[in-house]
Amino acid sequence: MTEKPKIGVYVCHCGINIASTIDVEEVAKHAEELPGVVTAKTYAYMCSDPGQIMVREDIENLGLTRVVVSACSPRMHEPTFRKTLREAGLNPYYLEMANIREHCSWVHPDSEAATKKAKKLIEASIAKSRLLEPLEEKEVEAEPSTLIVGGGVAGIQAALDIADAGYQVYLVEKTPSVGGRMAQLDKTFPTLDCSACILTPKMVDVTSHPNIELMTYSEVENIDGFIGNFDVQVRKKARYVDTDKCTGCGDCAQECRVKNKIPSEYNAGIGKRSAIYLPFPQAVPAKFTIDPEHCLYLTRGKCGKSPKCEEVCQPGAINFEQEDEIVDIKVGTIIVATGFDVFDASRRPELGYQDYDNVITALEMERLVSASGPTGGELLIGEGEEKRKPKDIAFIKCVGSRDESVGNEYCSRVCCMYTAKLAHLVKEKIPDANVRVYYMDVRAFGKGFEEFYDRVRREGVRYIRGNPSEIYQNGDKLVVQVEDTLTATPMEDEVDLVVLAVGLEPRQETKDIESLLRLSKSSDQFLMEAHPKLRPVDTSSDGIFLAGCCQGPKDIPDTVAQAKGAASSALMPLSKGSVTVEAQVAEVDQNTCRGCGFCVEICPYDAIELEEINWFGHTVKVAKVNEALCKGCGSCSAGCLSGSIQAKSFRDLQILPQIAALGVNKE
């Protein structure tokens, strides 16, 4: 760096986003007077084609060696302008950005103060830019495979797309079968497609596809590495059934000593299963699993004289000695598709979900009306002799959605339409039933939604605007206390069955994968995408993508669309065959390093090791950075006693001038 840098400063108006608050001309004039600055220009949209051409031409004509773009956040357009520099033949790491939009014009309405702050921010960027260094981006090979966490419709769709493109997929599902929430649904809105009919062929495809390794009843244990080269450990939980031998005949479940005693997860708790079970008849793979929490033999060490399942299993598939197995796999990219949980209705105690049997959630209703459900699709309430068809049915919407008191401010997006669908199914099964829906608003925004909502109302479902305050029992009836807010009439509505349209929440287990992968959450607790508009399937970690409801509530078409988007994004590094590794890595000055090894201990990625070098005839130990492993966090730099290890682009020498520029309080 012997030559004096020639700096070009480009101040963006961003339409009026910056220019309406900050006097950009004055800022540019100020910048032009700073040492080293050759030119300072303003333009309406610096990121547009003409803006970039202006920068490119200046680099070529004025021989600029540094570019300072003062516009939006570097998290937004740093890659854009890096490309501009590269196209003009300048090293892309000679770029520095000053964030005068997100950190200045948008948050400080006082024009004078904002202009003054913008000048400071640009001074700091110019100060840093002088000492920037050229960096080289290296390519490393990418493992041609993808890990997909979650075997719901999102995971299944993404797996099929990637496998069809010719790459290996590892599909890891926590439960014994793929299918997820969609497999629990009866019909889908607004077309009334049978959910199982459209899903099961896809479920079968994932088992038969030669490029998909399906790992059900498995959990991701650990993930190391980075885009292109993730090392994943998967725990295959013991099924206590040899899946090679199990034929799925079901004799074992028939004979199980706790048969029909355990609430079935698939039937949302209203049906019962045995301790050895197939979650549902169409489960994939069709292999039985022993639930270690309920199996008598596994919990008490004794099940009669000998476990019945073992006795009746013809192929001899039962194996109580089976242990969890850890499988190591290497993948290039990861798709997280962990789905959702329904809101726990007992968190709204006034609605009586815990107190009354005839207050049920929509997911339970879904199982009640489903032909594969515990009642074979007959809608019946009450026990034994008392079983009867409900006549008066009330749906209550927005339970656990749009409700600050339970911490969920968001709309769950699917409840309005699934309520309409369930109301329709009720009318189909019990034509003379009186069905009413208590709602706050009806949001029928998707393709065919409004038409379906109209149809359901024409079928005689009454929509009453009001948010029930309490539900209590009166004889064998339930009383819904509510005010019809359109007519301001308080009502006490006697019904047989109340269905709570519960909202969607991130699945509890998402927390595990979230901490393994260091993913961010949005304020609604769903996983956060890299950009709400332009990078909806990416996360802030390269090579990790989101699909389905783990990112936010959505219906099946949106989930499938996002899964396809995530699949295509995950395919990019695989089909390219390589990924660019971080160029802003740490570097050791071996002349000053004293080989204390502090940095080796600090590095979270084990990217630093001590090596022996010949130092004027002496053998000494110095630190050395493995650039393929280093992620450029810079923790080592702050811990180095001699300042010998430095994060490129974030060296002490580059940050200190920034501090100096911002510290000086002169006008």
| Residues in contact with other proteins by the rule CB under 8 A | 73-76, 99, 101-104, 106-110, 112-114, 116-117, 120-121, 124, 515, 518, 520-523, 528, 540-541, 584, 602, 604-605, 631-635, 637-639, 647, 650, 652, 655-656, 658-660, 662-665
User: Which one, 578 or 635, has the nearer CB to other proteins?
Assistant: 635
Tell the smallest beta-carbon distance from residue 580 to other proteins (Å): 17
Sorted by sequence, the CB contacts under 8 Å of residue 183 that are 6+ apart come out as: 177, 195, 196, 199, 200, 203, 266, 280, 282
Residue 379 sits at φ, ψ, to 5 deg, of -90, 100
User: Which one, 176 or 553, has the nearer CB to other proteins?
Assistant: 553
- Angle between helix 24-32 and helix 111-130 axes, rounded to 10 deg: 30
Gap between the Cα atoms of 626 and 611, Å rounded: 11
User: Which one, 167 or 526, has the nearer CB to other proteins?
Assistant: 526
Could you give the 3-state DSSP secondary structure of residue 25? helix
Could you give the 3-state DSSP secondary structure of residue 481? strand
Tell the smallest beta-carbon distance from residue 484 to other proteins (Å): 36
Tell the smallest beta-carbon distance from residue 601 to other proteins (Å): 11
Gap between the Cα atoms of 101 and 108, Å rounded: 10
Long-range contacts of 182-185 (CB under 8 A, 24+ apart): 182/152, 182/153, 182/556, 183/266, 183/280, 183/282, 184/266, 184/268, 184/363, 184/366, 184/367, 185/366, 185/370
* DSSP calls for 189-226: TTTTEEHHHHHHHHHHHHHH-TTEEEE-SEEEEEEEEE
Q: Which of 280, 170, 168, 247 has its CA nearest to residue 216? A: 170
User: Which one, 229 or 419, has the nearer CB to other proteins?
Assistant: 229
User: Which one, 299 or 541, has the nearer CB to other proteins?
Assistant: 541
User: Which one, 131 or 362, has the nearer CB to other proteins?
Assistant: 131
User: Which one, 96 or 364, has the nearer CB to other proteins?
Assistant: 96
- Is residue 98 exposed (0-12), middle (13-18) or buried (19+ Cβ within 10 Å)? buried
Q: How far apart are the first and last CA of the chain?
A: 31
User: Which one, 119 or 308, has the nearer CB to other proteins?
Assistant: 119
Gap between the Cα atoms of 408 and 430, Å rounded: 34
User: Which one, 4 or 521, has the nearer CB to other proteins?
Assistant: 521
User: Which one, 114 or 399, has the nearer CB to other proteins?
Assistant: 114
Tell the smallest beta-carbon distance from residue 621 to other proteins (Å): 23
Q: What is the dihedral of CA 523, 528, 531, 537, to 10 degrees?
A: -150
User: Which one, 20 or 578, has the nearer CB to other proteins?
Assistant: 20
- Is residue 157 exposed (0-12), middle (13-18) or buried (19+ Cβ within 10 Å)? buried
User: Which one, 270 or 602, has the nearer CB to other proteins?
Assistant: 602
Answer yes or no: are the C-beta atoms of 41 and 54 closer than 8 Å.
yes
Identity at 293, one-letter amino acid code: E
Tell the smallest beta-carbon distance from residue 649 to other proteins (Å): 9
Tell the smallest beta-carbon distance from residue 130 to other proteins (Å): 16
Within a 10 A sphere around the Cβ of 305, how many other Cβ atoms? 7
Kindly tell me the sign of the dihedral angle through the C-alpha atoms of 234, 235, 237, 243. Answer: positive
Q: Where are the beta strands (DSSP E) in 209-297?
A: 212-215, 218-226, 229-236, 262-263, 272-273, 276-277, 289-290
Q: Cα separations (Å) of 299 from 296, 302, 325?
A: 5, 8, 20
Could you give the 3-state DSSP secondary structure of residue 119? helix
Tell the smallest beta-carbon distance from residue 430 to other proteins (Å): 45
Identity at 179, one-letter amino acid code: G
Tell the smallest beta-carbon distance from residue 43 to other proteins (Å): 20
Q: Which two three-digit tokens encode residue 181?
A: 């929430």
User: Which one, 231 or 555, has the nearer CB to other proteins?
Assistant: 231
Q: Identify the DSSP state of 4.
A: P
User: Which one, 59 or 633, has the nearer CB to other proteins?
Assistant: 633
Sorted by sequence, the CB contacts under 8 Å of residue 483 that are 6+ apart come out as: 466, 469, 489, 490, 491
Tell the smallest beta-carbon distance from residue 19 to other proteins (Å): 15
Tell the smallest beta-carbon distance from residue 659 to other proteins (Å): 5
Tell the smallest beta-carbon distance from residue 169 to other proteins (Å): 26
User: Which one, 34 or 76, has the nearer CB to other proteins?
Assistant: 76
Tell the smallest beta-carbon distance from residue 93 to other proteins (Å): 14
* DSSP calls for 551-614: SS---HHHHHHHHHHHHHHHHHHHHH-EEEEPSS-EEE-TTT-----HHHHH-TT--EEEEEEE
Gap between the Cα atoms of 551 and 560, Å rounded: 13
